[in-house]
């Protein structure tokens, strides 16, 4: 690794010595392609509140950013920065790669427009990023093409009819709110990548019932869960059905389901619940949920809200499992 970084730095230095616009562009590309994506995010991208992004309280997301698999599944509860994560990846792919073509698909026109206007546009307006960009060839709600790299993203919507998706040729397809997209249209969307040497896919959303699209995909993935060891009784806790997740939400904080001892989710690790040989691993799935994020469980005000959702009768059991835990539930 040291030799690799030294070699990269040497190449970048050589390019910068040439002191011309093309050399500066190539030097930046070297740095962006050989720096962990999580670090680039913290250097260049703002959040929706106008602050530089900081992953300190979302540390479990670093492996997702830094080791993005060819096919990625994100099974999420609400408010786990899913849309921010997707917009970060799209934005930096356009900046880092040349002539890279992406397709973003959501189930509704309104949700596609909202993502384009309130997430993608915000990322590209980040002041540190704007300093190194050279504008757009095209920049509207349904298509964005960067001038410097000619990389692009097309934004479409599809629920049960994929006719709007048939035209584009793409390298990377991002499916958002996948729980509301009919499973049978996914092969049609995938055909947009037929000529691509990359054929990368991301599926993201919130599970509903066990036969829902996202849960069908989850069953085929390696099912990565955030595991936290209880320092009181040594029980390994995961926010899964077999670990009685309701018991993990106690008034005092995130707790062990066996002994009720408090858990420190910042010390967790990703564990496969459906282990697969590397050569057989086609879909890498991560489960993200509010209670296990330190942003929520280390802030008394945020945790009070989670505890209220889980214990308040305004939320039925299905809503708790779907919206708070990011788990499928059959009524």
Host H or E run for residue 75 = strand 71-76
User: Residues 167, 205: one domain?
Assistant: yes
Residue 318 lies in a domain: yes
User: Residues 164, 299: one domain?
Assistant: no
User: Residues 137, 171: one domain?
Assistant: yes
CATH number of the domain that residue 81 is part of:
3.40.50.300
Host H or E run for residue 238 = none
Residue 13 lies in a domain: no
Here the contacts of 14-18 (C-beta below 8 Å, separation 24 or greater) are none
CB 39 within 8 A of CB 56: no
Residue 43 lies in a domain: no
- Which of 219, 236, 259 is the last residue in one of the domains? 219
Question: Which candidate, 98, 284, 287, 278, places its Cα nearest to that of 198?
Answer: 98
Here the contacts of 208-213 (C-beta below 8 Å, separation 24 or greater) are 208/179, 208/322, 208/328, 208/329, 209/328, 209/329, 209/330, 209/331, 210/328, 210/329, 210/330, 212/179, 212/328, 213/178, 213/179, 213/180, 213/181, 213/182, 213/183, 213/186
Count of structural domains within the chain: 2
CB 120 within 8 A of CB 91: yes
Residue 308 lies in a domain: yes
Question: Which candidate, 163, 135, 124, places its Cα nearest to that of 46?
Answer: 124
User: Residues 73, 147: one domain?
Assistant: yes
Q: How many CB atoms lie within 10 A of CB 195?
A: 10
- Which of 219, 237, 254 is the last residue in one of the domains? 219
- Name the percent of the chain in helix, strand, coil, to the closest 5: 45, 20, 35
Structure confidence at residue 19 (pLDDT):
59
User: Residues 206, 230: one domain?
Assistant: no
pTM: 0.92
pLDDT in tens, the chain (331 residues): 443 544 554 555 565 455 567 777 778 888 899 999 999 999 999 999 999 999 999 999 999 999 999 999 999 999 999 999 999 999 999 999 999 999 999 999 999 999 999 999 999 999 999 988 889 999 999 999 999 999 999 999 999 999 889 889 999 999 999 999 999 999 999 999 999 999 999 999 999 999 999 999 999 999 999 999 999 999 999 999 999 999 999 999 999 999 999 999 999 999 999 998 888 889 999 999 999 999 999 999 999 999 999 998 789 999 999 999 999 999 8
Residue 104 lies in a domain: yes
User: Residues 112, 243: one domain?
Assistant: no
CB 196 within 8 A of CB 171: yes
User: Residues 116, 212: one domain?
Assistant: yes
**Cα(315)–Cα(329) distance, integer angstroms:** 13
Which domain does 88 fall in, by range?
67-219
Structure confidence at residue 2 (pLDDT):
40
Q: At what angle do helices 21-33 and 82-96 cross, to 10 degrees?
A: 140
């Amino acid at each position: 690794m040291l030799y690799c970084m030294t070699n990269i730095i040497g190449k970048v230095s050589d390019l910068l010595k040439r002191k011309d616009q093309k050399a500066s562009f190539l030097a930046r590309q070297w740095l962006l392609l050989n720096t962990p994506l999580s670090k680039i995010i913290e250097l260049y991208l703002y959040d929706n509140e106008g602050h530089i992004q900081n992953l300190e309280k979302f540390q479990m997301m670093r492996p997702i950013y830094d080791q993005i698999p060819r096919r990625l599944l994100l099974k999420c509860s609400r408010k786990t920065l899913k849309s921010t994560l997707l917009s970060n990846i799209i934005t930096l792919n356009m900046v880092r790669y040349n002539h890279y073509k992406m397709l973003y698909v959501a189930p509704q026109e309104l949700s596609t427009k909202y993502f384009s206007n309130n997430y993608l546009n915000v990322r590209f307006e980040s002041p540190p990023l704007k300093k190194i960009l050279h504008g757009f060839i095209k920049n509207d709600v349904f298509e964005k093409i960067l001038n410097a790299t000619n990389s692009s993203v097309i934004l479409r919507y599809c629920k049960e009819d994929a006719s709007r998706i048939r035209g584009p040729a793409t390298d990377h397809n991002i499916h958002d709110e996948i729980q509301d997209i009919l499973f049978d249209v996914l092969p049609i969307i995938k055909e947009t990548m037929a000529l691509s040497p990359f054929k990368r896919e991301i599926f993201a959303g919130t599970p509903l019932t066990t036969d829902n699209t996202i849960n069908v995909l989850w069953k085929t993935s390696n099912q990565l869960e955030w595991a936290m060891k209880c320092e009181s009784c040594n029980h390994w806790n995961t926010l899964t059905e077999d670990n009685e997740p309701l018991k993990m939400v106690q008034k005092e904080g995130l707790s062990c389901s066996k002994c009720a001892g408090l858990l420190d989710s910042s010390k967790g690790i990703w564990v496969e619940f459906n282990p697969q040989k590397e050569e057989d691993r086609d879909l890498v799935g991560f489960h993200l949920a509010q209670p296990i994020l330190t942003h929520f469980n280390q802030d008394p005000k945020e945790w009070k809200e989670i505890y209220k959702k889980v214990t308040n009768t305004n939320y039925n059991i299905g809503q708790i499992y779907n919206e708070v835990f990011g788990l499928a539930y059959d009524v």
